[in-house]
Amino acid sequence: MGGMQRHSRLLAEHLAATGRIRLTVIHPHEPGVFAGINGIQEVPITGIDPSRFYLAELWRYSGRVAAELERIAPDVILSQGFSVWKHMGRFSDRLIVHPHGLEMFQGLTWKERMMGLPFRRVVRYMARRSKVVISLGGRLTPILEKLVNGSRARVVVLPNAVDVPPPASFRSMAPPMRALFVGRFAWNKGIDLLIGVARRFEQEGRQDALRFLLAGDGPLLASIKAAGVPSNVELLGRVDDDQLFDLYSGCDVFVLPTRFEGMPTVVLEAMARSRPIIVSDVGATAELVDGTNGSLLPSGDEAALRRALDRMLASTAEERRAMGEASYARCAQHFGWPKVTERFLDLFATVAKR
């Protein structure tokens, strides 16, 4: 699942577990996504046709959602992404829009900005006609505040969340240092930057100092293999949750040189397992990482990524332990599901008092 889908599923499960709301989930999947979970009623509807024009399909899909909302007549509506768009004026007094990462506002190239233009207009339209717009924080909040300026909508900052296990004891690992990446093998995730740094380590004869563990797949995987995988890179492919959590616990540092992002769940998951973090300063990542638990990088800067990895290599086991503990403490204090779920419930109660 993508980050928004994973967040939606887990949020629904944690909300239902409180027993304080009656929750209906409208979704485009086969029935049974929430099988066996008390407090959730599923309403599966027809999804989008990926072979047709995407934006038009989103419009048609939102019309099917609107028909169900008319039938259900809920007190509060939480719309993930573009789910509530067509006929949204009928629900404005109870509508919370969560646009998540706002990637269409973070394009770096002229082509990306032009491709994102129609999506930016749709987000603006939706934001101004909602009761509340959720920001993940960081650089995303000013974008949304500008969009809703002059409308009746207000921006509320609510972060993503993860399950936080009991703290694990730190164990110093034998060389080489292991840097873990989890994500789609795509340009926007910065996978090319990681491969470039790995090649430099190999060319300098330092391939035994740092090993890159790359989990996932995507459009750049074929070209990476065609160019020859550096000897210090291990391609892990897709992994399930159990494998993923073992990888977090078994790495020395988690690395995500993404070019644009919201609040990446993979970073939160690595923090919950007491890992130091190296991530680009985009979206809401500055809410997660600072000098106490890792490094924030300029977006798209391969040299900065290499310097951050060199600093991590030069750090002592005690320094890495302290960074990992800082990651865990921040995650447990601000981004655990119980706390974030309570904040969602408070927001729902406020909207329901309209």
Q: Are 265 and 161 in contact (CB under 8 A)?
A: no
- The pLDDT of residue 113 is 83
**Paired strand residues for 255:** 278
List of residues 6+ apart from 77 with CB closer than 8 A = 69, 84, 91, 94, 95, 96
Amino acid 236: pLDDT? 96
What are 335's two structure tokens?
Answer: 């981004």
**pTM exceeds cut of 0.85:** yes
Domain that holds residue 133: 3-161+336-352
Q: Taking a C-beta distance cutoff of 8 angstroms, is the pair 288, 258 a contact?
A: no
The pLDDT value given to residue 293 = 97
Residue 172 domain-assigned (yes or no): no
What are the residue ranges in the chain where pLDDT is below 70?
Answer: 1-2, 108, 354
List Cα–Cα distances, 320 to 221, 253, 304, in angstroms: 31, 8, 19
Nearest to 255 by CA among 173, 310, 318, 205: 310
Determine the pLDDT at residue 115: 86
Count structural domains, the chain.
2
Q: Are residues 82 and 22 in the same domain?
A: yes
pLDDT at 345: 97
H helices, E strands: number in the chain: 11, 12
pLDDT at 169: 73
pLDDT for res 354: 66
Can you give the CATH number for the domain in which 276 is found?
3.40.50.2000
Residues 205 and 99 grouped into a single domain: no
330 and 341 co-located in one domain: no
Q: What is the pLDDT of residue 272?
A: 96
On whether both 183 and 224 belong to a single domain, the answer is yes
Query: What pLDDT shows up at residue 110?
Result: 81
